[in-house]
Amino acid sequence: MLASRFRFRRLSDGGFGWMLLGGNNRLIGIAPAGAPTVGRAVLGAERARAVAGTAEVTYTVAVDRLWHWRMHDGGEHIAMSASGFARRLDAQRAVGRFVRAATAAQVQLGVVAMPHRVRQRPGPSRTGTL
User: Structurally, how many domains does the chain consist of?
Assistant: 1
Using one digit for the tens of pLDDT, what is the confidence trace for 43-100? 999 999 999 999 999 999 999 999 999 999 998 999 999 999 999 999 999 999 999 9
> What pLDDT does residue 121 have?
47
> What pLDDT does residue 126 have?
55
Q: Residue 58 belongs to a domain with what CATH number?
A: 2.30.29.80
> What pLDDT does residue 124 have?
56
User: CA-to-CA distance for 33 and 48, rounded, in angstroms?
Assistant: 13
Helix axes 88-104, 38-51, angle to 10 degrees: 110
Domain that holds residue 39: 5-112
> H or E segment at 118?
helix 116-119
User: CA-to-CA distance for 56 and 77, rounded, in angstroms?
Assistant: 9
Tell me the average pLDDT across 107-112.
82
Task: Measure the CA dihedral 47/52/53/55, to 10°.
Answer: 90
| Residue 91 belongs to a domain | yes
Report which DSSP code applies to 87. Answer: S
| Residue 44 belongs to a domain | yes
> What pLDDT does residue 114 have?
62
Residue type for 24, please? N
pTM of the model: 0.82
Tell me the average pLDDT across 17-25.
92
> What pLDDT does residue 101 have?
95
Report which DSSP code applies to 48. Answer: H
Using one digit for the tens of pLDDT, what is the confidence trace for 113-124? 765 544 444 555
| Residue 128 belongs to a domain | no
Query: In angstroms, what CA-CA distances link 129 with 1, 64, 83?
Result: 33, 19, 21
| Residue 127 belongs to a domain | no
| Residue 119 belongs to a domain | no
Tell me the average pLDDT across 95-112.
91
> What pLDDT does residue 127 have?
54
Tell me the average pLDDT across 16-34.
93
